[in-house]
């Protein structure tokens, strides 16, 4: 199988990639939010049961629950900084090649050219509107499905399932 496509990464693609990475790949962010909610619930319960003074309980609950907006703000800042400081090159056309040997992404900016053999690819996720290619644990590329033909999407999915087996994750319905 051989697919060669010209792909352009938009700001929205990059945003989706960062959000997916921060909220799905990095379990620590979700763990921090959940543990903050649990701690807040415990403090509120202790306050209701008069084990803790109301003022202390309310202050502690607010402090614990502030983790949620802080995490969201931090992730959104990461997206803005990535664009602002050139960590990602947007609206640059790159070439995506999928072959029997692996995946190659090149063009646009030579410092980010990548070639990955199938057995070294960390994981690939299929979302509703894109494929997220994690070529390594901390290096990923977003392929927006709107830039592909339906036959390309089908062929890519088929190849990913065949080559990656348990490292290809479908997070959408077809």
Residue 86 has pLDDT above 70, yes or no: no
Q: Which domains does the chain have, with CATH numbers?
A: 3-10+89-170 (2.30.29.30), 19-84 (no CATH)
Cβ neighbour number for residue 43 with a 10 Å cutoff: 22
pLDDT of residue 116: 92
Task: Provide mean pLDDT across the span 13-19.
Answer: 88
Q: Which two tokens stand for residue 146?
A: 């709107």
The answer to whether 129 and 144 have CB atoms below 8 angstroms apart is: yes
Q: Is 51 helix (H, G, I), strand (E, B) or coil?
A: coil
Q: Is 4 helix (H, G, I), strand (E, B) or coil?
A: strand
Task: Provide mean pLDDT across the span 135-153.
Answer: 90
Task: Provide mean pLDDT across the span 35-54.
Answer: 93
pLDDT of residue 62: 93
Q: Give the torsion sign (CA, 134, 94, 116, 113).
A: negative
């Amino acid at each position: 199988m051989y697919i060669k496509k010209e792909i352009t990464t938009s700001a929205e693609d990059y945003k989706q990639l960062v959000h997916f990475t921060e909220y799905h790949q990095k379990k620590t962010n979700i763990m921090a939010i959940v543990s903050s909610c649990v701690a807040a619930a415990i403090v509120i319960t202790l306050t209701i049961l008069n084990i803790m003074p109301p003022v202390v309980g309310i202050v502690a609950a607010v402090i614990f629950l502030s983790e949620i907006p802080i995490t969201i703000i931090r992730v959104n800042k990461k997206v803005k900084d990535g664009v602002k400081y050139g960590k990602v090159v947007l609206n640059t056309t790159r070439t995506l090649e999928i072959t029997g040997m692996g995946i190659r992404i090149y063009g646009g900016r030579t410092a980010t050219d990548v070639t990955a053999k199938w057995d070294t690819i960390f994981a690939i996720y299929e979302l509703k509107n894109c494929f997220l290619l994690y070529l390594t644990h901390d290096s990923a590329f977003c392929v927006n499905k709107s830039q592909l033909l339906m036959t390309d999407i089908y062929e890519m999915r088929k190849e990913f399932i065949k080559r990656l087996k348990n490292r290809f994750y479908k997070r959408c319905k077809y």
